[in-house]
Amino acid sequence: MTTLTIELPDTIAQHIRDRKIPPEQLEQVILHFVEAYLQENESSGSQNATWSDSKDFARRVISNNRALFEELARIP
Q: Confidence class of residue 51 from pLDDT cuts 50, 70 and 90?
A: low
Q: For residue 27, give the amino acid letter.
A: E
φ/ψ region of 6 (left if φ > 0, alpha if ψ in -120 to 50, else beta) reads beta
φ/ψ region of 75 (left if φ > 0, alpha if ψ in -120 to 50, else beta) reads beta
Please, what is the average pLDDT of the chain?
78
% of the chain with per-residue pLDDT over 90: 1
Sign of torsion over alpha carbons 40, 42, 44, 50: positive
DSSP assignments along 3-53, one per residue: -------HHHHHHHHHTT--HHHHHHHHHHHHHHHHHHHHHTT-TT--GGG
